[in-house]
Amino acid sequence: MNRDPKTMFTETPLVRSKFRQEAAAKWIFAGMAAAMIVPLLLILGYLVERAWPSLSLGFILDVPIRGMKEGGIWPAFVGTIYLVFISLAVSAPIGILAAVYLNEYAKDNWLNRIINLAVINLAGVPSIVHALFGLGAFVYAAKFGYSIISASLTLAIMTLPVIVASTREALASVPRSFREACWNVGATRWQTIQAIVLPNSISGILTGVILQVSRAAGETAPIMFTGAVFFKAVQKGDLFPYQLHEQCMALSMHLYTISTQVPGVKESIPFATAVVLLGLVLVVNAAAITLRVWLRNRKKW
């Protein structure tokens, strides 16, 4: 029986219906993405427009004057960098090593199930509760006082569950066959983790670190209770103005202060402070994402 080639591959009503459903799903998902991106761009545009009269390099490098009604944000900018990177230096090694133990060494028993549940619950604790914990544990019990080290340790405890959870997911994504191949040639468990598992999961681990940086930079309550100060005199351009046992200014605390506690502040200054805080987070995140993409491209699988 001969068939006409023109009609042999004609779309059936069922195929056309599936194509229409696929096109509709594509536009629905595109609309969902736009619903997230467009408001973000509008907010950023509004902030930059309101902040533009004060935005400049001099605004970042200058110090507050006239009771913080004018001037720049250098003490708060440097203080935020101190808090973020000290907390990262504490939480990242602990979180990664804890995740390695839970994923590679721990057995499935009641104790480890409780630990997993504690990590999940800790990620959902409000920041004000972490602030009270930091106040009691580090300021009073450990006798660190109101200081950068107390605030940084509080931020580290607050962001630790995110790093643990994301690192576990990254470690679990490495195929088990990689581990078995190493074991079969005589490598120990730690040698396998060090040479195979961690290098192939580093891009996923950086995801948790990125989230940690963003959250630590924007939190106010934990540092307000443990180490942030209303105002601290700092020399313009001083890269190391604080000691670990001292209190410091921070961008999130400074933004709250000049927006609610200081009358007569120039209208554009709070918006400029917010834009600098967002810019700092975006720069750090962009650097981490670039590193993550580079490491991901080096994967052989």
Residues 203 and 145 in one domain: yes
Task: Flag whether 8 is in a domain.
Answer: no
Residues 28 and 168 in one domain: no
pLDDT in tens, 105-142: 888 788 888 888 888 888 788 888 999 999 999 999 99
Residue 5 has pLDDT above 60, yes or no: no
Residues 180 and 249 in one domain: yes
Residues 286 and 250 in one domain: yes
The domain that holds 136 is classified in CATH as 1.10.3720.10
* pLDDT value of position 15: 80
* pLDDT value of position 149: 94
Residues 40 and 157 in one domain: no
* Burial per residue of 191-228, b for 16 or more beta-carbon CB atoms within 10 angstroms, e otherwise: ebbeebbbebbbbbbbbbbbbbbbbbbbbbbbbbbbbb
The continuous run of DSSP H or E covering 65 comes out as strand 64-65
Task: Flag whether 1 is in a domain.
Answer: no
Domain count, the chain: 2
Task: Flag whether 34 is in a domain.
Answer: yes
What is d(CA 74, CA 92) in angstroms, rounded to the nearest whole number? 27
* pLDDT value of position 9: 59
Residue type, 88: L
Residues 23 and 120 in one domain: no
* pLDDT value of position 3: 57
pLDDT in tens, 224-281: 899 888 888 888 878 888 888 999 999 989 898 888 888 888 888 999 999 999 988 8
Contact in structure between 157 and 133 (CB atoms under 8 Å): yes
* Burial per residue of 77-114, b for 16 or more beta-carbon CB atoms within 10 angstroms, e otherwise: bbbbbbbbebbbebbbeebbebbbebbbeeeeeeeeee
pLDDT above 70: percentage of residues in the chain:
95
Task: Flag whether 5 is in a domain.
Answer: no
* pLDDT value of position 78: 92
Q: Note the pTM of the prediction, 2 decimals.
A: 0.84
Residues 187 and 287 in one domain: yes
pLDDT in tens, 175-204: 888 888 888 888 888 888 888 888 888 888
Task: Flag whether 279 is in a domain.
Answer: yes
Task: Flag whether 290 is in a domain.
Answer: yes
Residues 154 and 225 in one domain: yes
Residues 36 and 154 in one domain: no
Q: Which domain holds residue 206?
A: 57-297
Task: Flag whether 11 is in a domain.
Answer: no
